[in-house]
Structure 1
């Protein structure tokens, strides 16, 4: 006679599986709770607010659907912010990676005194955004700044680094490049030091010169690290805030009003939390799209050992 009861062994195995799941979730619960409170809740709250008009305290007042997104589409100020954001990423991402790679390659050589230069090149990693921006604020000063004094010394007129709409974004980009070099340099140097010396020795025996080794061995084997650095640098470029706030405050004429700073200004200066939330969702989608493209296109060119 057939019965619907499970065999004892299968029943005990299922109980053990559920027990292990419960124990695993118990250990993970602190991390899950923290992630839920500080990551998922703000994200869903932002999406929720983007469909509402809010009061000055951020409390939803009336549901307006996609009207905030429609206003963004029609806003010339928002289009200027988007344009400035893309230009800023174009200025900072390739330049930061190229300079960091160059510094990592030259400091990977076995030369006496190289550890000192490694410390110097990575030192910006220990400088906060506020401190770094303040340093460059002094350098960019129109009359007391070192940069204009150097230009005057060679007979050139000074530049309005932070007050000219044509130069301000470039000035902020220079500051950002300087601050990001330290992290990228350390990551790329670590990747270079993981490449086996035997490959270079074999290449030398075969008659390969320095440049052949660089483009046939170093760059291909460093591609996973370069891919990681490029993804992180692009994301950071879209999230730049501190140096904008200290150096230019989004001006002049909104030329440095990147989308992150626009979100901050609309929410905390103007009190339009719903409008700012819509911008935040668009920024999230932009970062998601760029990251997806990098993984779909860039990862195909990565050579894993």
Structure 2
């Protein structure tokens, strides 16, 4: 007789667990249905192309990109020994070095100026962010005319100063720097808007207390602005780094990888191998190498850079 209450209580607990599972199941199904459109889009446009690219990197392919023969790591070995790929890797690293630090510093400087409370500052905020509304193609055409050795305004200005004219896009010494300058100009609008939003979210009481203490502007910049803006700066640096590795449009319009492959970055080299030389296996191997380079740089940045980020 004493064991019956225990049996009944155990059966009640089992029934309760089954009911909880039945209640939780529709919620899981509902959550999956909400995620299903995103999962389908990511699968079609991200996961499948990544897996397909990795698969093709181990094969020799025909002109239509169909695998013909399995070669293992031969494509990667050939690329690492290729002088052309080494030049592309060097051009990519130099391009990242030229664009990311200069672009972030310029956007930070403009955002600090535009954050000042003076009359008419809204006009300058609009001008500083205006490059965000222009396409890469339109911006590249503008810079192509500015760099033109015959009618370009840049050569006219340096001629007025007394310097000799420069073949901006035709000289291997200046071509990569010229493309980097145009890229910095194109990306400044986005970085400026994000940094300006971060500056306007900083608590004004911090600056009021600093003014009462009588500290200088640069002290406030170093001790208040930069630490409080560090999450936004970390985001901008990460996004700029990834975008600089993936630059294609301005290279294609301005230089097409020349002269003498001085601007033949990895992304443009992938395009040439895949759609001009029809060597999809080599292009896939280069895309795989580029993916792991970006992944390594991003992980390294999160490991080292995030230590200096202050979220409060």
The partner residue of 1:271 within 247, 254, 278 is 278
The partner residue of 1:32 within 25, 39, 42 is 39
The partner residue of 2:197 within 190, 193, 197 is 190
Find the aligned partners of 1:17 and 1:281 in 2 and give their Cα distance: 41
Deviation at 1:26, TM superposition (A): 1.5
**Structure 1 residues 61-111: Cα deviation after superposition (integer angstroms, max 9, x where no partner):** 111111000101110000000000000000000000000000000110001
Compare the two structures and name the one with the higher helix fraction. Answer: 2
Matched residue, 1:46? 53
Matched residue, 1:211? 218
Find the aligned partners of 2:298 and 2:169 in 1 and give their Cα distance: 31
Report how many residues are paired. 305
Matched residue, 1:255? 262
Find the aligned partners of 2:89 and 2:39 in 1 and give their Cα distance: 34
Structure 1 segments (4+ residues) deviating >3 Å:
1-6
Q: Structure 2: which 5+ residue stretches go unaligned?
A: none
Q: Is the aligned partner of 1:148 residue 2:147? A: no
Matched residue, 1:106? 113
Q: Structure 1: which 5+ residue stretches go unaligned?
A: none
Give the secondary structure class of the aligned counterpart of 1:167.
helix
Matched residue, 1:284? 291
Deviation at 1:19, TM superposition (A): 2.1
Matched residue, 2:246? 239
Deviation at 1:153, TM superposition (A): 1.3
Find the aligned partners of 1:56 and 1:186 in 2 and give their Cα distance: 45
Matched residue, 2:18? 11
Find the aligned partners of 1:272 and 1:108 in 2 and give their Cα distance: 51
Give the secondary structure class of the aligned counterpart of 1:46.
helix
Which structure has the bigger radius of gyration? 2
Find the aligned partners of 1:242 and 1:44 in 2 and give their Cα distance: 25
Matched residue, 1:75? 82
Find the aligned partners of 1:135 and 1:41 in 2 and give their Cα distance: 37
Give the secondary structure class of the aligned counterpart of 1:80.
helix
Deviation at 1:156, TM superposition (A): 1.3
The partner residue of 2:130 within 120, 123, 129 is 123
Q: Is the aligned partner of 1:225 residue 2:229? A: no
Find the aligned partners of 2:205 and 2:226 in 1 and give their Cα distance: 16
Q: Is the aligned partner of 1:295 residue 2:306? A: no
Matched residue, 2:97? 90
Find the aligned partners of 1:43 and 1:15 in 2 and give their Cα distance: 37
- Give TM-score scaled by structure 1 length: 0.98
Find the aligned partners of 2:34 and 2:101 in 1 and give their Cα distance: 42
Give the secondary structure class of the aligned counterpart of 2:189.
helix
